[in-house]
Structure 1
């Protein structure tokens, strides 16, 4: 399994999809600053500091960018095996196709966390360039912790979409569309319990993110229910892999 994961990282060095992911993860912070600048003065946030910037970046990442980027990259990595006709080659080596899929998904989980770190540092750079001041280290440490956990939770939330839409060659782009809608519709769920159940928002509950400013609701979701949601998504992903790929290239 370690060899498969290492191979995926070696492949990424030669693929433009990594660059696309990095560019995409630069936008949450940039969009946060841009929105603040173009908003009419009456709607602008008076004390726009690093804390506010991190909160905006977390919200934009969760509802727009992360679901799309993670689904695009994860689906692309799996789709390579169809394009490169790996199914035939696996008959000559002791690796089953399901094992290969697991390796790719684990590699993508590491990439998702690294992209979360990348987005965090981009936020620092964007904030510094635009002249935001940091009163103390608290918002920096909180932002780092939140981006780490949120990246993994958001990736887990789209895992079933990645696996389900990657069963056929080039079908993963449909998953990208589904993930976009998945994130977009999360903005309209205000009930605290539903936010703990809805996969995209469960990650926000886990990091204790205050959604009041973004969803006009201050009710806190359930941390336990959100963790259960993540566990169910991992179980569902495992079942989809078993059902979809167990008959391929069995060794």
Structure 2
């Protein structure tokens, strides 16, 4: 499994898809500044500091950018085995397609966390460029911690979509659309319990993110239910892999 993961990172050096992901993860913080600048005076946040910028970035990343980017990159890593007709080369290797898929998905999980770190770095740069005061260490550590956890949780949220759409060549682009809608509709889930169940929002509950400003609701979700939601998604992903690729036990 470790060799599969290493192989995926070696392949990434020759692919441009990671660059697309990095460009995409640059936009959440820029969008946060832009919406603040163009908002009418009554809607502008008077004390817009780094803490606020990090919160806006987490929200924009979770509901708009990360579901799309993670599904795009994860689906692409799997789809290229079909596209480049490399599956036939694996007949000579004692490895099943599910094993290969698990390796790719774990590699993508690592990439999602790294992209979260990258987003934090870009947020700092954007904040400094726009003249925000230097954040204290507490704000900085909280921002990095929340972005790390929410990146992993959001990736877990779209895992079933990635696996389900990886069965056929180029179907992952449909998964990208589904992930976009998945994130977009999360903005309308107001009930605290439903926010703990809805995969995209359950990650926000886990990091104790205050959604009041973004969803006009102050009810806190259940941390325990949110963790159960993440566990169910992992089990569902495993089930989908075994169901979709059982006939390809050894490709």
Tell me the TM-score normalized by structure 1: 0.98
Q: CA deviation at 1:135?
A: 5.1
Q: Which residue of 1 aligns with 2:10?
A: 10
Q: What are the Cα deviations for residues 155-210 of structure 1, in whole angstroms up to 9, with x where unaligned?
A: 00000000001110000000000000000000000100000000000000000000
SS of residue matched to 1:134: coil
Q: Which residue of 2 aligns with 1:141?
A: 141
SS of residue matched to 1:235: helix
SS of residue matched to 1:33: helix
Q: CA deviation at 1:85?
A: 2.0
Q: Which residue of 2 aligns with 1:77?
A: 77
Alpha-carbon separation, structure 2, partners of 1:242 and 1:87: 18
Contact 1:90–1:249 (Cα < 8 Å) also in 2: no
The runs of at least 4 aligned residues of structure 1 exceeding 3 Å deviation read none
In the alignment, is residue 24 of structure 1 matched against residue 24 of structure 2? yes
Alpha-carbon separation, structure 1, partners of 2:47 and 2:186: 27
Q: CA deviation at 1:249?
A: 5.3
Tell me the TM-score normalized by structure 2: 0.98
Contact 2:192–2:222 (Cα < 8 Å) also in 1: yes
Q: What are the Cα deviations for residues 63-97 of structure 1, in whole angstroms up to 9, with x where unaligned?
A: 00000000000000000111122332222111111
Contact 2:68–2:180 (Cα < 8 Å) also in 1: yes
Q: What are the Cα deviations for residues 37-74 of structure 1, in whole angstroms up to 9, with x where unaligned?
A: 11122211100000100000000000000000000000
Structure 1: tracts of 5 or more residues without a match: none
Q: What are the Cα deviations for residues 197-234 of structure 1, in whole angstroms up to 9, with x where unaligned?
A: 00000000000000000000000000000000000000
Q: Which residue of 2 aligns with 1:158?
A: 158
SS of residue matched to 1:46: coil
Structure 2: tracts of 5 or more residues without a match: none
Alpha-carbon separation, structure 2, partners of 1:51 and 1:87: 47
Q: Which residue of 2 aligns with 1:200?
A: 200
Pairs aligned (count): 251
Contact 2:128–2:134 (Cα < 8 Å) also in 1: no
Alpha-carbon separation, structure 1, partners of 2:142 and 2:129: 20
